[in-house]
A and B are shown apart, each in its own frame.
Chain A
């Protein structure tokens, strides 16, 4: 069974803890993305799975076998490095064939495998070239080919698309996803680009400062973020986060004081159990819509900067108290700078986070 399991994995470098008590389970055929800002420990975690770093504590279990004491060559895994790690003195064909030496296949079988993989990744034309003579995108595909030509326990990708330009990234995302779907092995991809994670992953593990903040499907992390960090990290434009005073519930609506204004917003019923005090309210720019008139349920803010984005327009607005709110409106709704908008929030997409940053949600 191709699975990966991490139990309470911790990694310390001297006094610095890079990875803290990480628990993660990857099923066969599942693609899990480790997503987070730089320095959050995602690459270290990947390298621990690969065996290139040794965990200070915790267990690494691949295909059901504990792998803590095993070196990378004993783990039967495949990895695609951020810098591709193509062997510069070997041709593309030889690069792809390199891992097969260990399996001692006869020449015909090996050649057939290489040809098949080269076909899947459209590398037929460059098979006899050296790595320094192929394009960035081709190098990437060769690195992937070298990984998929084997039949390993799992696949590990370290920032696979970070070095490609935007167009290439789009096409490669699709190609990698389709290659992976056909192989049904546990896969872990490390990336700092949320778009990559959202499109390629079956589940995303968001990391910060060595801790996993949330592990869930892309939809889940978007629609039901576990805390403020995840909420602000996922989704562009960034979610609006307002620090308000919670003043209890009234007629099933939460009462929030923002400066001198009072807001009444429809929120999750569990919010009613919160003590009065400071909370954070999060509303995504696309969850706000301008309404015709002011009301206790709308935020009145003045439009400052208009950013046309094509089919939509991003409007930067400012509340009376100085906080800025971003709202995305359809192109048709022409908003002028200086205009005062009354923004109403979609009840299903209004998030409340308690003082510790945790989402309050049933």
Chain B
């Protein structure tokens, strides 16, 4: 070892790094200074949403106050009214049925996303591992169905549902939403399956696993980010879907967006607090799921067109 010239002088980071404002860890990272900027931008961007959430806690007068009130006495009244409301002045409060609507939204979105995942993953596996003649044509057709304006298919589907008695049933709307999510699921999962190395599967087959076992125990765990991304996007899509839900769901199967639009009309004008409360409650499940799976979202958004 070379000679030691004495104890090292005290290490002082430059000021910015010492305060944690600029990152000391090298290229590609940033410190709290950057966080500050990001916070300001994010806050401005998020502000309209924040206002909605705040409005949920305001009384009707506060909500329409001019100048706008940032500080107010919060009330949980609106949230209570989501579920029990009096429909006309002086009448007793009655159950609005929103518990049913929330359940419907959860149920319909959840089931259709799961179905799309199941059917789509199997189909993607088929497209990837057992390419058929005209594979590309099928895939093109599948993806282009995603591009269809809803308005084009709405009439025939409406008539179809009437004729087969599916209008207003869970099965009908779930089937439709499943079809909405299928193209994305297939494309997403196919790109993931394409990237798996076949060696592991071959080894498993030699060890005697059946095709089903290979699929379940080996392929699926590896493509989990794709499943997550598909689930998130499918959920966001069907959760907020309005047009088809409006036309094709019945009283028993109504979803929250449709119910929301019905609270807008009415003799009192828009009940802002109530609407805000509904939307706030409605946002929560989506935010939770998105937050949990946000890393996978990045992957999913690119439709597998990035090769790593």
Q: Does A touch B (CB under 8 Å) in the complex?
A: yes
A interface list, Cβ under 8 A from B = 7-8, 23-25, 52-59, 68-69, 72, 212, 214-215
Nearest chain B CB to A216 CB, angstrom units? 10
On B, residues with C-beta under 8 Å from A are 1-5, 7-9, 11, 13-14, 24-27
Alpha-carbon distance between A52 and B23 when the two chains are bound, in angstroms: 12
Report how far A69 CA is from B53 CA in the complex, Å: 46
Residues of A within 8 A of B9 (CB): 59
Min CB–CB distance A46 → chain B (angstroms): 13
Closest to A9 in B: B8
Q: Is the CB of A23 within 8 A of B4?
A: yes
The prevalent SS among residues of A at the interface is strand
In the complex, what's the smallest C-beta–C-beta distance from B258 to chain A, in angstroms?
A: 49
The CA-CA distance from A136 to B60 in the complex, in Å, is 70
Q: Are A7 and B5 in contact (CB under 8 A)?
A: yes
Rounded to whole angstroms, the CA-CA distance of A255 and B40 in the bound complex is 77
From A55, A214, A215, contact of B11 by CB (8 A)? A55
- Report the bound CA distance from A8 to B25 in whole Å: 20
- Residues from chain B with Cβ under 8 Å of A25 in the complex: 2
**Using Cβ atoms and an 8 Å threshold, which residues of chain B touch A56?**
11
Among B1, B14, B26, the residue within 8 A (CB) of A215 is: B1
A-B Cβ contacts below 8 A, count? 36
Which A-B residue pairs are the 7 nearest by beta carbons?
A: A8-B8, A25-B2, A54-B24, A23-B2, A52-B26, A57-B11, A58-B8
Q: How far does the Cβ of A342 sit from chain B's closest Cβ, in whole Å?
A: 40
Contact A53 B26 (CB under 8 A): yes
Once A53-B25, A53-B26 are accepted as A-B contacts, the answer to whether A8 and B4 lie under 8 Å apart by CB is yes
How near does chain B come to A48, taking the closest CB pair, in angstroms?
A: 10
Residues of chain A within 8 A (CB-CB) of B11 are 55-58, 68
Residues of A within 8 A of B5 (CB): 7
Shortest Cβ gap from A247 to chain B (Å) = 32
Interfacial chain B residues near A7, Cβ < 8 Å: 4-5, 8
Closest to B27 in A: A52
Alpha-carbon gap, A53 to B7, bound state (A): 22
Residues of A close to B14: CB separation below 8 A: 69
- Closest partner residue, chain B, to A72 (CB atom): B27
Q: Complex Cα distance A7/B7, Å?
A: 9
Q: Are A24 and B2 in contact (CB under 8 A)?
A: yes
Instruction: Give the distance to chain B from A235, nearest Cβ to Cβ, in Å.
Output: 21
In the complex, chain A residues whose CB is within 8 Å of the CB of B4: 7-8, 23
- Report 10 cross-chain contacts, Cβ distance below 8 Å, ordered by A residue: A7-B5, A8-B4, A8-B8, A23-B4, A53-B25, A54-B24, A58-B8, A212-B1, A214-B1, A215-B2
By a CB distance below 8 angstroms, the chain B residues around A215 are: 1-2
Give min CB distance, A325 to chain B, whole Å: 32
Residues of chain B contacted by A8 (CB below 8 angstroms): 4, 7-8
A23 to B3, CA, bound (A): 8
Instruction: Give which listed residue, B2, B3, B8, contacts A59 with CB less than 8 A.
Output: B8
Q: A212 to chain B: which residues have CB within 8 Å?
A: 1
CA distance A293 to B4 in the complex (A): 50
How far does the alpha carbon of A144 sit from the alpha carbon of B255 in the complex, in Å? 63
Q: Report A123 CB to chain B, min CB distance, Å.
A: 27
The answer for the CA separation of A58 and B10 in the assembled complex, in Å, is: 8
Cα of A212 to Cα of B26 in the assembled complex, Å: 24
Structural contact, B1 and A54, CB atoms closer than 8 A: no
Q: How far is the CB of B245 from chain A (nearest CB, A)?
A: 46
Q: Provide the bound-state CA to CA distance between A54 and B4, in Å.
A: 21
| B7 cross-chain contacts in A, Cβ below 8 A | 8
Which chain B residue shows the least CB distance to A66? B9
Q: Closest B residue to A25 by CB, please name it.
A: B2
Q: Are A23 and B26 in contact (CB under 8 A)?
A: no
Please indicate the chain A residues that have their CB under 8 angstroms from the CB of B1 in the complex: 23, 212, 214-215
Closest to A226 in B: B1
By a CB distance below 8 angstroms, the chain A residues around B8 are 7-8, 57-59
Bound state CA distance, A37 and B9, in angstroms?
A: 30
Query: A7-B4, A7-B5 provided; 4 other pairs, C-beta below 8 A?
Result: A52-B27, A53-B25, A58-B8, A59-B9
Cβ–Cβ < 8 Å partners of A69 in chain B = 13-14
Residues of A within 8 A of B2 (CB): 23-25, 215
Q: Complex formed: what's the CA distance from A215 to B4 in Å?
A: 14
Which partner residue on chain A sits nearest B9 by CB separation? A59
B16–chain A nearest beta-carbon distance, Å = 11
CB-nearest residue of chain B relative to A211? B1
A211 to chain B, nearest CB (A): 10
Q: Could you say which residues of chain A place their CB within 8 Å of the CB of B25?
A: 53-54
Contacts of A214 in B (CB 8 A): 1
| Chain A residues within an 8 Å CB radius of B27 | 52, 72
In the bound assembly, the distance between CA atoms of A8 and B5 in angstroms comes to: 9
Which of B1, B11, B24 has the largest count of A CB atoms less than 10 A from its CB? B1
A58 to chain B, nearest CB (A): 5
Alpha-carbon separation in the docked complex, A58 to B11 (Å):
7
Query: Which residues of chain B have C-beta atoms less than 8 A from A52's C-beta?
Result: 26-27
Question: Given the complex of chains A and B, what is the CA–CA distance between A200 and B9 in angstroms?
Answer: 34
Closest to B26 in A: A52
Report Cα–Cα, A215/B8, bound state, in Å: 20
Question: What is the bound-complex CA distance between A209 and B214, given in angstroms?
Answer: 41
Instruction: Give the CA-CA distance A25 to B4 in the complex, in Å.
Output: 11
How long is the Cα–Cα vector from A278 to B186 in the complex, in angstroms? Answer: 67
Closest chain B CB from A190 CB (angstroms): 17
**In the assembled complex, how far is the CB of residue A356 from the closest CB belonging to chain B, in whole angstroms?**
16
Nearest CB in chain A: distance from B3 CB, A: 8
List, in ascending order, chain A residues with CB within 8 A of B3's CB: 23
What distance in Å separates the Cβ of B28 from its nearest Cβ neighbour in chain A? Answer: 10
The distance from the CB of A81 to the nearest CB of chain B, in whole angstroms, is 13
Minimal Cβ-Cβ distance residue in A for B11: A57
